[in-house]
Structures are given as structure tokens and as C-alpha cells.
A and B are shown apart, each in its own frame.
Chain A
Amino acid sequence: MTLALYVPRASVVHRLPAGAKLLALAVLAVALFVLPTLTAAAAALLATVAVGLLVARLPVAVLARQARAVVWWLGALLVVHALTTDLRTGAHVALRLLTLVVAAAVVTATTRVSAMVAVVEWLCAPLRLVGVRPARVGLTIAMALRFIPVLVERADRIRAAQAARGGSPRGVRALRTTVAPLLVQVLQMAHDVSEALDARGADDVPPPRRRRSPTSEVPR
């Protein structure tokens, strides 16, 4: 599966541990709000872009794509602020936002999904106290990633089956006549997958002191 925003490069930024990059991002976010001057925000933006383009050697398009998603908002912000407060405040707010978005894009483009998932599992470790097992979180993430292409394929199959019977509903009806049977199908599939996993020992690390049923000793 080739869906990811990761851009492979041999750079210092890429080699940094994912946790460190996330921490840096959090620090930047706080700093931008603590240092409320236009120059600080502008400097931060310049520094972030420099790190992204020069140190991590990311293509401009990668950063531009994420920035484009917020450009509308930034424009609207400038206009609203120019009308209600003043242009300087507007520019400051807009710059601060743009910096955060670009910095987040740099972290995403330089960190593999698997490394990020590892950070998520690590972050889940304290949740052990409330009964969350980090390995199960990882398993669920893996299942979700696998289900995405399966869903697309199943949806195509339902649409093909409907077309073969002469009906290809459009619009609202299509949503209902395709999504409902699709959900029923894939719910069954998810159930089967969970049974297969359990049969292979996915549920083997039970919470302490689980009572054994007498039948579990019998080889089947």
C-alpha cells in the first residue's frame, strides 16, 4: 500500500527519533503562543521552512500541499482582522498558524508511519493502569490499515453485482443500497477475522486469573 505522506530522504531530520520530533513540535506550538510578536512568528516560519527544505531536503510541493489546505482560512483571517482589529494582529495570527501547519507537515513527511505507530504504542503504555494493552492497540491499528483496501474492493464488488442485475442507483439511493449491504458484509468479515485471530492466540494474554473452562484442555 503506497498511501502515506512520508518522503524518504537521507537527512538528520529523518534520522531523529519520532518521539523527539513530536516533542519539538509541541515545544514550538507553546513557544509560538508565549512569544506574541510578529517578528518571532515570522522567524519561526522561516526557520521551519529552512529545516524542511534545506535540512530535510523535502520537495516544496510536499509543504505547499499542506499549506494550501489552510490558505483559504488565512486569507479570510487577514480580511476579518483588517476589518475588526488591525492588519498586524491578523498577520500575526495567520503566520503563527501557517508555521504550525508547515512544522507538522515536516514532521509527518520525515517520519515513517511505522515509527509513528511505535510512538503511539509507547504513549499508550501508561494506559496499562486502566487495562489497556499497548500490543492490542498496535493490533487494532494494523487491522484498520488492512481493512481499508478490503473495503474499497468489497464496495466495488457490490456495485458490480448491482450493475449486473441492471440497477445502478445514483445519489442518495446509491448510498443506502451500497453502504448498508457493505456494512453488513464487512461486519461479518471483521467477526471472522477476530475469531481467526483468537484461534491463533491473539487473546492469549488474558487479564490475570481468568477462569479456565474445562473444555479448553481438550485438543480439537
Chain B
Amino acid sequence: MKTRDLAYVALFAAVIAVLGTLPAITVGPVPITAQTLGVMLAGSVLGARRGSLAVLLFLVLVAVGLPLLASGAGGLAPFAGPTAGYLYSWPVAAFVIGWLTERSWDRYDVLRGTLFNVVGGIVVIYAIGVPVLKAVAGLEWGAAFWSGAAVFVPGDLFKAVVAAAIADVVRRSYPVIERPRRTAESR
């Protein structure tokens, strides 16, 4: 990776961190935050590889003891809690969103972007987060689904649209993803 790629990765790790400081709407135990917005943005602005690395770096920053998660939580504790699965799913989500975005970079628009964000940012996150919640918390499937997914879907749909709208503006004014042409200079 070039130094420029490292700088982009570092930048989006910071973006996710800063989005976590925006006030969250708390529903029961889990806050609805702008942080997954950052995950969606990382994938759709940087692409699969750099986007997922940015999210991974953000999680490293949290793990080493910075209180960057939305509720001011940080350190290793969140990685052991019942909602740890959501954290682990984020890099995968950014990768999937980035992969889909790269595939249709020439035709990217808000509608497509929203669709990608829904697939990567909602389906993937719950596909990993809910089973972990079920296992760690020892819940039934139904209870895990209602407490760990259903409540958040409206907020997530909203975030998917906003992230796509932002990514579309950024794509037109400062495109970071290059068109997938496989030439010698790719690394």
C-alpha cells in the first residue's frame, strides 16, 4: 500500500471516531449512532480494501483504550460484551459495501449506493451481530432478533440513504476509488 492509501485509511478511522461523538438516540440498551454511517462511508468512498482496513483500524484504536465508541465506551470491554458481534461485523460490512461500489463505480448513484449500504451495512451486520448476541447472551432466536435487529432497522435504512447521498457527492468531486482496470500499476 502506498502512503496515500495509509493516510486515507487513517482518515476514515478518524471519521468513524468523530461520527461517534454526535449525540445518539438511545433505544433501550443500545444507542442508535452515526457510527455505522461512518462504516458505510468508509466502504463506499474508499472501496473494499481500504474501507475495511479503516474500520479495522478504528476497532484497534478502540481496543487499545480510546473511548471512541458512541456511548464513550472503549477499551477491551466492548469486545467481550453481548453487542461485540456488531463490532466484528463492521469491517466485513465495509468490505462488502466497498466491493459492490467498486463493481459499479461508473454507474454509482444514490439509489444503487443505498442498495449496497442496505446489503453490506444492514444484512451483513445483523447476520453476524444477531447470532453473536444470541450465543453470548444465551437468548432464543426470536428474542435476539427483536432486541438486536428489528428496533434498529428504520434508523439503519435512514443512514443507508444519507451515506449514499454523501458518497455520491464525494464521488463526483473527489473520487478515491479508481476504475477497476487491471494494469501493471495496481498495488
Contact = CB atoms under 8 A, between A and B. Distances in A.
B2 to A, nearest CB: 7
Given A3-B67, A183-B170, A144 B77 contact: no
A175 B137 contact: no
Interface string A48-66: 0000000000000000011
Contacts of B162: 172, 175-176
Interface in B1-50: 1-4, 6-11, 13-15, 17-18, 21, 28-29, 34, 37, 41, 45
A136 B5 CA distance: 11
A110 to B, nearest CB: 10
Nearest to B69: A69
Contacts of B150: none
A148 B18 contact: yes
Given A183-B166, A187-B176, A195-B4, A144 B13 contact: yes
**Size range of the interface on A?**
35 or more
Interface stretch (B90-98, B112-120, B121-129, B139-147): B139-147
B30 to A, nearest CB: 8
B137 A66 contact: no
B61 interface: yes
A72 B28 contact: yes
The secondary structure that dominates the A interface is helix
Contacts of A193: 7
B14 A147 contact: yes
A43 interface: no
B80 A139 contact: no
A180 B63 contact: no
Interface string A171-190: 01001100110011011111
A151 interface: yes
* Most chain A C-beta atoms within 10 Å of own C-beta, residue among B2, B66, B73, B162: B66
21 contacts: A66-B75, A69-B71, A70-B82, A72-B29, A73-B83, A77-B139, A85-B138, A100-B77, A101-B77, A116-B63, A141-B10, A143-B10, A145-B14, A150-B14, A151-B18, A180-B170, A183-B170, A184-B169, A186-B11, A190-B10, A197-B3
Interface of B: 1-4, 6-11, 13-15, 17-18, 21, 28-29, 34, 37, 41, 45, 57-58, 60-61, 63-68, 71-83, 136-140, 143, 147, 162, 165-166, 169-170, 173-174, 176
Interface of A: 3-6, 22, 25, 29, 65-66, 69-70, 72-73, 76-77, 80-81, 84-85, 89-90, 93, 97, 100-102, 104-105, 107-109, 111-113, 116-117, 119-120, 136, 139-141, 143-145, 147-148, 150-152, 155, 172, 175-176, 179-180, 183-184, 186-191, 193-195, 197-198, 202-203
